[in-house]
Amino acid sequence: MNTIKKAFKGSAFHTKEYGKLEFLEDVLIKVDSNGIISEIVNKDNKNYEEELIYAKNNYEFVELSDGEYFLPGFVDLHVHAPQWPQAGMALDEPLNVWLDECTFPLEAKYSDINFAREVYTDLVTQYLARGTTTAMYFATIHNEASLELAKICAKLGQRGLVGKVVMDDPVMNPDFYRDKSTSEALDNTEKFILDVKKVAENCIQGVYPVITPRFVPSCTDEALLGLGKLAKKYNTYVQSHCSEGQWEHDFVKERFGKRDTEVLEKFGLLGKKSVMAHCNFLNEEDGEIFAKTGTAVGHCPISNSYFANAVLPVKRLKSQGVDIGLGTDISGGFSPSLYENIRHAVMVSRMLEDGVDAKKCSCERGVSNSRISVIEAFYLATTGGGESLQLPLGKIEKGYICDLQVIDTKAKNNILSDFGVFPKKEHLLQKIIYLATVENIKEVYVQGNLVHKK
């Protein structure tokens, strides 16, 4: 058994079940030397006072002040790390034009390791400051720079899942930015997997290699097949984009006579450790394939509003048993904050339900029974992300990894006050989710260790 090393005392919010908020009042969270929660001592436990005194005297002890709360660290399932310099710009073109004209020239710059180091260090720092303790990253085609991202996550204390991107089709990708051949793409992926596993040996919070075909249109059949085989050989994570927008969905249908989901399954790229970004065009059958294979959806609501031509049917996919988490999708999404993506996930689900064209009769304007609550969206950013990655993340519970954000609702100049009018704790959480800024995130812990302090 691991010894207890640390204890956190304060009130916390989390969602153990989808849509059910739990408030833990003044609990003592005991954490072992591996950063795993070993016990939660409730206020009504008869040994509570004794336990508190013991913890203060014997463990590293973190005690929240009045107005401070713990939230679980956020899990971001979809980030394009190299696109950080263009976050917030160039969002007016359709996806395929945006990739060719803006994104590929930017990503090509990561052949320069010094540039990569500078950008990636800032990105991981900014994500941690926004409470994102776990992130699944697309890097670029370059092994050295992609490995650098894994090293930076390890060093700065973020749990990083990192993929060297594969895009080997000479017809679909520009000469200045693609894998030089299919065999080189596969060899470099295998080397990358082994190199990240080495970095992981000295990293308590974990860094993981991810097999990363950019999306079906950018890869040859041979690459997709080879990557599926590597996923099996190393039992690694897999990530890609799936049925993101109309263009991608139609392109794949045209090339294979099948839907994206069917193609990815055929090549061995769906499974319990697979996360597919976007997925807006999944039909019922695709949802069943996702549920059956254990493949998760990385829902990127802000990005989808620009590039997807549709709104993800979260409610339908959840009811089919699909794991779903949230993604910022920098820079298709402009914001590095999962808070903003939680808010947007709620708003677009309302638009899906109600419809958007007032000229149409309300009876045929939207897709009924589509809205999700802010608590459900909070679940997606925490527990849903953990489920998607098959990691014990998102709950403040025995056996779970101790990843926490400390929210200071009394931070200077903040707008969270309810002026003492609303006593319900759920309302407080709603205010935090909708109105908190980076100023309210006082501290962030990953695997029990402090990784960010405001």
Interface positions with ligand GUN (CB under 6 A): 80, 95, 99, 103, 214-215, 241, 244, 303, 307, 329, 332
Which CB, 265 or 329, lies closer to Fe ion?
Answer: 329
Which CB, 98 or 400, lies closer to Fe ion?
Answer: 98
Minimal distance in Å, beta carbon 326 to ligand GUN? 14
Which CB, 35 or 332, lies closer to ligand GUN?
Answer: 332
Q: Are 393 and 380 in contact (CB under 8 A)?
A: no
CA distance 28 to 20: 21
Which CB, 130 or 214, lies closer to ligand GUN?
Answer: 214
Angle, CA of 133, 148 and 325, to the nearest 5°: 30
Dihedral angle of Cα 435, 440, 446, 452, to the nearest 10 degrees: 140
CA distance 327 to 335: 10
Q: Count CB atoms within 10 A of the CB of residue 274.
A: 25
Phi, psi of 408 (to 5 degrees): -100, 105
Q: Are 31 and 6 in contact (CB under 8 A)?
A: yes
Q: Are 164 and 230 in contact (CB under 8 A)?
A: no
Minimal distance in Å, beta carbon 95 to ligand GUN? 6
Minimal distance in Å, beta carbon 282 to ligand GUN? 16
Residue 148 interaction partner, one of Fe ion, ligand GUN, none, beta carbon < 5-8 Å per kind: none
334, amino acid identity: F
Which CB, 214 or 371, lies closer to Fe ion?
Answer: 214
Minimal distance in Å, beta carbon 380 to ligand GUN? 18
Furthest CA-CA distance within the chain: 69
Residue 344 interaction partner, one of ligand GUN, Fe ion, none, beta carbon < 5-8 Å per kind: none
The footprint of Fe ion (CB under 5 A) covers 277, 329
At residue 85, the 3 state secondary structure works out as helix
Minimal distance in Å, beta carbon 215 to ligand GUN? 4
**Helices of type H across 71-170:** 95-98, 104-108, 113-129, 143-156
Minimal distance in Å, beta carbon 301 to ligand GUN? 12
Structure tokens at 221: 């059949």
Instruction: Output the residue with the shortest Cβ distance to ligand GUN.
Output: 332
Minimal distance in Å, beta carbon 99 to ligand GUN? 6
CA 418 to chain centre: 30
Residue 324 interaction partner, one of ligand GUN, Fe ion, none, beta carbon < 5-8 Å per kind: none
Minimal distance in Å, beta carbon 131 to ligand GUN? 23
Q: Which burial class, exposed, middle or buried, applies to 435 when counting CB atoms under 10 A from its CB (0-12, 13-18, 19+)? A: middle
Which CB, 277 or 322, lies closer to ligand GUN?
Answer: 277
Residue 307 interaction partner, one of Fe ion, ligand GUN, none, beta carbon < 5-8 Å per kind: ligand GUN
Q: Count CB atoms within 10 A of the CB of residue 30.
A: 23
Which CB, 340 or 408, lies closer to ligand GUN?
Answer: 340
Instruction: Output the residue with the shortest Cβ distance to Fe ion.
Output: 329
Residue 158 interaction partner, one of ligand GUN, Fe ion, none, beta carbon < 5-8 Å per kind: none
Residue 215 interaction partner, one of Fe ion, ligand GUN, none, beta carbon < 5-8 Å per kind: ligand GUN
CA distance 404 to 49: 23
